[in-house]
Structure 1
């Protein structure tokens, strides 16, 4: 089986691409309906957090025409007990944000049950805002007899001061199986007993029945897990909101799958499930609805495992040609911009929903010399373009004291645009003394054909920046 990363609405992807009973393990970490916005925390090349954050997703759901449509679709086609449950929920909760969230989750959980093998398991990660409702939902869809554990993930975090209630420092993971035939690999996740208990076992003063294979001093973990969150200095930290530690996913994947099994994450975010599944030799399927996430996962797979999209795994849903690019631009202008910037490894500059972008869609940072970092301003246009756009880019480059400007266009540039860009002159790299055009125009067609902007010693937008040049520099 080929590993696949999907861009798109997971409900549509599940319905159109994932066959019945084809998945061994599902882990999902959906939005919790906590009414918060989660931002991608890009870092500046010096290592500090960027002031310009991008909203990855809004953790707020509303009862809309689309929600009403989904509700009635479930009522018309869903299993009887699910229909009764959902209608009871709406009578009790009414039409509000929570009901919209539960309707959205119900439609997806029905599809996830369809694609799960009879021997498979599903882990639904949630927090106390909605875990009580979700457990009723899971009981109804998967059957209360297939409920295996309510795992409590406990963690310490200095944030969240309060004097009016106990600090909230745990998440809930609901573990269900598809049937009683499910597989659980206890020996893969055993942990050591305490030193005191180990000595008692060695002396034979206590016994726990079945022993672990080859080691009677290990036990299956309890249903409360003390696994540290990803702190600000952690090597695996990518700056993506709601990123979970690899140790958490490792325990789940080891417990409920074996090498060669298929692991699915329909809300894959920054790709922790994907990365751990890859490391543990599982096949994987990842789905996300933002190009910010898809590009971050592609970078993570390349940086960690040396995997290339299209060669080592499939990416479905991203534009492959100009017609696909135009379709994305018409569907969602911001996702089009994020996708276009991913083609040049630029970091998005600002959240368009929250304020003006000041003529900056993205920024590419690069090394000027061992002590200095330069930047190229990136603008992305999907509509008609003219020489006025290049003059405006030139003004933004001068205002921001940037070294270069990159203009990405879906339409072909005019001759006056090209002439204006040429008049911008050159930036000379102090390290190599090579000249780079200060104003560069590059079309989406050229990017899709493999062409890249001319930028010296570009710095990745995802891993933390360095204050000095790396030991090995790329050839220019």
Structure 2
């Protein structure tokens, strides 16, 4: 069964992922190149969440955690990785970039451990740190196991001050050994490509003639005469398609064949064209069903604001990009791991292609988003969620251990976007916002306040004041403690809001407890589905949600 973990991926890898158990790793680690790289949500009014920044801010500063990561690399036994990391520290000093690289190196060592010998790793990064990361990957995986630097055009052209516009990301592709899983990916031919393929043989193959020789004399069999044709006399050598030979006899046998044997084999298979004028034989290049995928990706556009798969995650990658990687480097039933799974594109693609998957993220917000995404896409899918509260006792323990993470978890359960204030600044009595469209057009908001500790009448009154100040139609108080009768009375006194579009009435101030959440009760928020058809409009509420 596939699994989704909440927690620090270093701890999860060490405690839960066995040696050589993973077939493919994709990771898109956060990097603080612009101080807001990994923000999960952007709300309709432009307010952004701090939750992901807070989760990773220690990663971007040299502190005790960075020093500990550096020491872990030293103790790992990987002398190449440590030698490189130490040299980088001497060059960079104890700064933000060095902290990031130390954090990444100790995790790359663990990822190498869990990868099967036939496995591969793809690291997605921006050019700010890609050169450092490549050196570290050379140290961990071995320079000979570097396969590609893939360039993906992640955005359209834009202006940049006093430099070329930066429009691409880098994806570094490494295998663990020379014997790794690889499936050829073919793309449709470009317009006009097949125009020169004008011939068809008795086997129905469409072909065009191509050179069977190339300039320059080489030592060995490539310069031998064949069927009376002496290539060395005209200063050339035989140029033989390796793939054509391998398709006939396989790679192992092809490697042991001489040039003359390969030419005889191609001729016997009808892949040699003999000109009527008696000139040098030519190679029949057969039209393939597509063009092999290349290391510059321009055919997969970034997600635009109208993309159906868009989740409001600024660094979300297109599903098609992950499908290509997973198709190329894994097979059906293989295990795909994403240790920085964010909004879950990699695990979504893995599920779509029939792979098992493991996702890890350090915020409850991300885990909740992925739970919802996978449940929406695959309603009958069963997968384990480890590290998130699965019972009332778990939630109460989270309240005691980390009230901020409890807040993020509670907000994710009710599909609320965290407010920009929170732990790092005044939140103005707002922890989260639920955006909804009561008429299918105009966006309204419901304010959510989360209380992990003692709750009383004053909290109801304060939320009512915030609702008036923010012109919010609905307010929701999520509390770890059951409300008193006085709290319920004061909440009811805030009144009823009627949705003029549907005629339904909703309590303006609603109180939900942890027990309510674990019994699948949700805020009564109107949301009109206008996607079924122009005339088919139905009202649903978030009470229909399921707590995973």
Q: TM tier, shorter chain?
A: 0.7 to 0.9
Q: Is 1:139 paired with 2:138? A: yes
What is the deviation of 1:354? 5.9
* Bigger Cα Rg: 2
The count of corresponding residues between Structure 1 and Structure 2 is 459
What is the deviation of 1:443? 1.0
What is the deviation of 1:288? 1.0
Aligned-partner Cα distance in 2 for 1:289–1:459:
33
Distance 1:437 1:194, change over 3 A: closer
The corresponding residue for 1:30 is 29
Distance 1:266 1:202, change over 3 A: farther
Q: Deviations over 1:33-68 (max 9, x none)?
A: 41421333444xxxxx33221135337611111111
Cα RMSD, aligned residues only: 2.8
Aligned-partner Cα distance in 2 for 1:139–1:373:
50
CA contact (8 A) 2:438 2:528 kept: no
Alignment partner of 2:412 out of 329, 342, 352: 342
CA contact (8 A) 2:322 2:349 kept: yes
The corresponding residue for 1:106 is 105
Map 1:91-102 → 2, pairs under 5 A: 91-102=90-101
Q: Is 1:412 paired with 2:505? A: no
Aligned-partner Cα distance in 1 for 2:138–2:197:
38
* Between 215-224 and 387-396, the greater mean CA deviation after superposition: 215-224
CA contact (8 A) 1:366 1:458 kept: yes
Aligned-partner Cα distance in 2 for 1:180–1:194:
32
Alignment partner of 1:363 out of 428, 433, 441: 433
Gaps of 5+ in 2: 200-207, 212-240, 248-285, 544-548
Match of 2:539, SS state, is: coil
Q: Is 1:205 paired with 2:209? A: yes
Alignment partner of 1:220 out of 292, 307, 311: 292
The corresponding residue for 1:40 is 40
Map 1:12-411 → 2, pairs under 5 A: 12-38=11-37, 39-43=39-43, 49-58=44-53, 61-159=60-158, 161-186=159-184, 189-203=185-199, 204-206=208-210, 209-210=242-243, 216-226=288-298, 227-307=300-380, 312-352=382-422, 355-369=425-439, 374-411=444-481
What is the deviation of 1:304? 2.3
Q: Deviations over 1:75-94 (max 9, x none)?
A: 12332222222222222222
Aligned-partner Cα distance in 1 for 2:528–2:42:
12
* TM-score under structure 2 length normalisation: 0.77
Q: Deviations over 1:307-334 (max 9, x none)?
A: 56xxx11111111234432443355433
* Between 445-454 and 385-394, the greater mean CA deviation after superposition: 445-454
Match of 1:52, SS state, is: coil
CA contact (8 A) 2:492 2:507 kept: yes
Distance 1:221 1:445, change over 3 A: same
What is the deviation of 1:422? 3.2
What is the deviation of 1:345? 2.1
CA contact (8 A) 1:459 1:465 kept: no
Greater relative contact order (Cα < 8 A, sep 6+): 1
What is the deviation of 1:269? 1.0
Aligned-partner Cα distance in 2 for 1:190–1:100:
40
CA contact (8 A) 1:201 1:217 kept: no
Aligned-partner Cα distance in 1 for 2:458–2:490:
9
Alignment partner of 2:539 out of 453, 473, 476: 473
Match of 1:24, SS state, is: strand
Q: Deviations over 1:361-413 (max 9, x none)?
A: 22334454566665432111111111111111122222233333211111232
Aligned-partner Cα distance in 2 for 1:200–1:74:
56
Aligned-partner Cα distance in 2 for 1:285–1:37:
26
Q: Deviations over 1:149-174 (max 9, x none)?
A: 11122344244x22522111221111
CA contact (8 A) 1:364 1:376 kept: yes
Gaps of 5+ in 1: 44-48
Aligned-partner Cα distance in 2 for 1:268–1:469:
38
Q: Deviations over 1:219-245 (max 9, x none)?
A: 322221113211222222222021111
Aligned-partner Cα distance in 2 for 1:426–1:342:
25
Aligned-partner Cα distance in 2 for 1:228–1:243:
12
Aligned-partner Cα distance in 1 for 2:390–2:123:
33
Distance 1:57 1:25, change over 3 A: same
Distance 1:57 1:424, change over 3 A: closer
The corresponding residue for 1:46 is none
CA contact (8 A) 1:74 1:83 kept: yes
Aligned-partner Cα distance in 2 for 1:370–1:281:
36
* TM-score under structure 1 length normalisation: 0.88
Distance 1:386 1:217, change over 3 A: closer
Match of 2:25, SS state, is: strand
The corresponding residue for 1:458 is 527
What is the deviation of 1:338? 1.9
Distance 1:15 1:205, change over 3 A: same
What is the deviation of 1:138? 0.5
Match of 1:222, SS state, is: coil
